[in-house]
Structure 1
């Protein structure tokens, strides 16, 4: 089999370490490299100091064949990546006219004046191959030392992605002969990771050596990722499918998707296919379910709308929940959930109505109804039913798990 080509991704910037911005660059780069058969072995974030940059470059080249660097290429004094890279390679800086011309043209189109700081961005390490940046002032730079490749890119995500897509990925693919890496994702819900592992243990133990299995749990879901590595993609695809055929009956109703798609996407696909519609009534989830649905492009084809009825007053005035029901049983009750689901369906004239009401926490619980007590309900023209959930003491988990439960129930019903 072809030898793995190992990649280390280095992101530079104090703002990442302080948590002021999220490192989305590493995630995107990793996904794109994986498609081409490169194996990312480490992602490292460091601050804007010369010592940190020099240390990580020295360490990374011992581990990886390719070191991809983002950040620290701006015009301000804290952007020291270029000069530090020059020091690492023991070379000087040189002014590149083509880079300056590119910067000047960008400023002209934006009706802005060039400064000395912008001019300094046209200075690059002498041993670097410039990769022109069509959407920003900081160029990318490609370095080779022995059998190692170093690439420095801007930290601005849309600039980095443009450089990677236009030039860098193609150059890497041309230089390195990588094996195929094939993934297959299966998504399960309603079964804990430990129980799932026990359920498929014999199947997992019998997997061929070139196929690996990873468990990726998240808020009441477990994603199973099968990964096969080899030189023949068709052979890998067939081998993965043969294993999935054996796995399906073991997962049963807990399996809801054979791709890396969310349950709300599966619901949208099925509801549009069947020409049916949905409305939501949310209390403890505060609109989180509606948000998950409305992030999907095309959701207006099946989703009519919803009501966030956080107070009893809104439950009565907007959802026609009976005052006697709230007085006798409380907002967190089977009776209230049933009325919410049925009434929102009737109000919006939809085929399905779903509802949530509960105590998300961390406060608000009682002895009879502790934090994590949640009722969910599902209504159709033929029936309206409710289910009691006993969840955790963590608000975020309870909100997401409630959404997962009612959406999976809806999907099964459809």
Structure 2
């Protein structure tokens, strides 16, 4: 099956809200072997919606639409469905009873005519019951294309997708299997990774595709296999992942979307019974945020000091003012003292420190914009490295944060004795 996801709403097109619905729906469809070929965002305009439906008719098997099902006049999806399918709106008693119960029973207020109108649906549609909201979904088929309309409220949409749409598709349609495997690498750019694995990539089976998903400081490699035999797909994916690990195992830190470097570091620290703290200047707390995003981080994360100002480095972390005067606040020497200072302050086994010029202007130092020093304090001592991450500012912060975690992971694995 091939699908197109359509979001309806001017608020999306003007950037007032971010469309998260499409990503959720695409992932849900992918898990059951439905391939999303296109995502569209269109305005709350009747003719525009009708034109979109006509363009997709016969092009894909499934069109999932979100938005425009509310009770106000600007929500026109139901009426537009009637125009496209030459249908009329009728009152659905089951939906009306549910809406009445929600408004009068849960919200404790009288039901209005606008609320009652939520129970109006096209007479030819299959109603997709919405237990967590007042707007029902609609399932209608024209020739070989199914059109599904869902509320735009994310938690309502997710409920119908997970409890109604996905089970219905699985039961009624035959689909191929789609198997994904994501390999997370750190420390080398996309072009270098591609060069290292070129021969491996050229020898992948035809039914396995490779995608590069780069971001500052890391590259995700996603393998996708499609076919009729799920066991064979899993077997071939694992065989190729193993051969890939033999080639670039030195930069692989995890597998699949949830196995980030933060998760990997957490597992290592928990296994060794060690703790970590951070002292951040130019990264502004980003490293601490990444580490604490992992469930259970409280068992190994001791705390953080965002010592953005020079005097804070001195008064809180104990950095020597003479060292700053002699070497500059953006220096290897200061980074090391910051790491040792927060390690002592938080009584942690490991510590990360960053100091640099993220830009766009220089701060209290003469170092070039983009320059960052990262220090790692271990139970055996402290090391520091210098980097220049260029510009813009956001890129510097992201790359510095990722590089710091990469260095920490290496230090833990190798138990570096400095």
TM-score category by the smaller chain?
Answer: over 0.9
Note the residue ranges of structure 2 that are not aligned, 5 or more in a row. 413-418
The CA deviation at 1:258 is 2.2
In the alignment, is residue 311 of structure 1 matched against residue 317 of structure 2?
Answer: no
Q: 2-side partners of 1:98 and 1:365: how far apart?
A: 65
In the alignment, is residue 335 of structure 1 matched against residue 333 of structure 2?
Answer: yes
Q: How does 1:207-356 map to 2 (within 5 A)?
A: 207-260=204-257, 261-356=259-354
Aligned match of 1:44 in 40, 44, 58?
A: 40
Q: CA 1:268–1:34 in structure 2 vs 1: closer, same or farther (change >3 Å)?
A: same
Could you state the TM-score of these two structures normalised by the residue count of structure 1?
0.97
Aligned match of 1:123 in 120, 139, 146?
A: 120
Query: Is this contact kept in 1: 2:328–2:365, CA < 8 A?
Result: no
What secondary structure is seen at the aligned counterpart in 2 of 1:319?
coil
Q: 1-side partners of 2:163 and 2:226: how far apart?
A: 26
1:185-242 CA distance string (max 9 Å, x none): 1011111111211111111111111111111111121111111111111111111111
The CA deviation at 1:147 is 2.2
1:81-104 CA distance string (max 9 Å, x none): 110111011111111121111100
Q: 2-side partners of 1:368 and 1:353: how far apart?
A: 26
What secondary structure is seen at the aligned counterpart in 1 of 2:58?
helix
Match of 1:114 in 2: 111
Q: 2-side partners of 1:344 and 1:249: how far apart?
A: 38
What secondary structure is seen at the aligned counterpart in 2 of 1:83?
helix
In the alignment, is residue 202 of structure 1 matched against residue 165 of structure 2?
Answer: no
Q: Which range moves more in the overlay, 377-386 or 247-256?
A: 247-256
Q: 2-side partners of 1:208 and 1:294: how far apart?
A: 39
Note the residue ranges of structure 1 that are not aligned, 5 or more in a row. none
Q: CA 1:100–1:147 in structure 2 vs 1: closer, same or farther (change >3 Å)?
A: same
1:21-74 CA distance string (max 9 Å, x none): 111111111111111011111111111110111111111223210010100000
1:230-289 CA distance string (max 9 Å, x none): 111111111111111211122131111122222111111111111100010000011111
Cα RMSD (Å) of the superposition? 1.3
Match of 2:132 in 1: 135
Aligned match of 1:405 in 395, 400, 403?
A: 403
Aligned match of 1:32 in 13, 28, 31?
A: 28
